[in-house]
Amino acid sequence: MRKPALSPTTGRIMLLACAMLWGGSYPTAKVAMGAVTPQWLMAVRLLGAAGVMLILFHKRILPALRPSIIIPAIFVGLTYWGTMFCQMTGLTMIEPGRSAFLTAAYCVIVPFTSWLLIRQRPTSRNLVAAALCLTGVGFVSLAGGGMGGLSVSPGDLLTLLCAFVFSFNLVLLGKWSRVIDPVALTFTMFVVAGVCFVGGAMVTEPSPSAAWLEPAVLSCLAYLVLGATMLAQVMQNIGLKVTPPSQASIIMCLETVFSMLFSVLFYGERVTVTAGIGFVLIFLAIVVSQVRLSGRMLERIGGRRG
């Protein structure tokens, strides 16, 4: 008997849950990197998540490990590695909330990446929503130096590069999750990216130390492995099966709001008036995206009634 198809509403809820889990990952990773270097942190995070996934979902993963998954695994794995390498390295230089909002620039790039890779032309509403979101990100960036100007640090540049690479990862996942089991695709992506991080850490970073075993560090690692990596990524890949990439990028942009909230509550980051304006603009971008969806639904309903 065929399983019922995932509804668009459920898919969007999954993407929203991803945003919340990822939002919490910024201050959590910032705390963890007080003891664990960035590449070792990501190696533990990704390979740990892959191991748990293999235990829980081996009946879905093992049958999908065929030659046809190799090319997709390499592409999504390398783009995910590039995304997280830039993000984690940048996070060592800037505050968690700032990192989250700069990362959100991917919502501007995704419609164009989608057009390039899968010929899905961006609509005018995509462009308006993306422009609003980008403006909001700009206001948050200005919050660090006041309205007189924006001083872009190396951490900012790395985080913006992360957004660019992530746009490719997001579109590729949306494309291949429709033909490959999303859980298996997520597993292979974690393995490829995790191996890349192990190699990089062994060459450029110090060896693991006893500081990793402190309770606070272990708690952060558990959250990053089980919640912000395994659970969130699985829900993202499943949600992308029923959500267009450009729409998904706007929904997941809410991770910036959650990140700032968690950073203020647990990390002590301050929210300025300029950053608050950025929040409002990003929410407007999300509203614009959802209005477009409502319009399509009404058209479909009207067509059926006719």
Q: Each residue of 163-218: pLDDT tens digit? A: 899 989 988 988 888 889 988 998 999 999 999 999 999 999 999 888 888 999 99
The whole-number pLDDT of residue 4 equals: 55
pLDDT of residue 37: 93
Residues 212, 221: Cα–Cα separation, whole Å: 9
Answer yes or no: is pLDDT of 148 > 60.
Answer: no
Mean pLDDT for 131-160 is 71
Place of tokens 């740990």: 48
Which residue is it, tokens 């909002």?
101
- pLDDT, residue 286, reads 66
Question: Token pair of 281, please?
Answer: 């603009």
Average pLDDT, the chain: 82
pLDDT tens-digit series, residues 232-268: 878 887 887 888 766 776 777 778 778 888 888 888 8
| Local confidence band at 291 (pLDDT 50, 70, 90 cut-offs) | low
- Name the more confident of 287 and 280: 280
pLDDT classification of 294: cutoffs 50, 70, 90: very low
Given CA atoms 232, 134, 113, 290 in this order, what sign does their dihedral have?
positive
pLDDT score for 246: 64
The C-alpha R_g of the chain, in whole angstroms, comes to 19
Per-residue pLDDT, 3: 56
From CA 259, how far away is CA 280, in angstroms rounded? 15
Domain edges within the chain: 22-305
pLDDT at 81: 97
Mean pLDDT of 23-32: 90
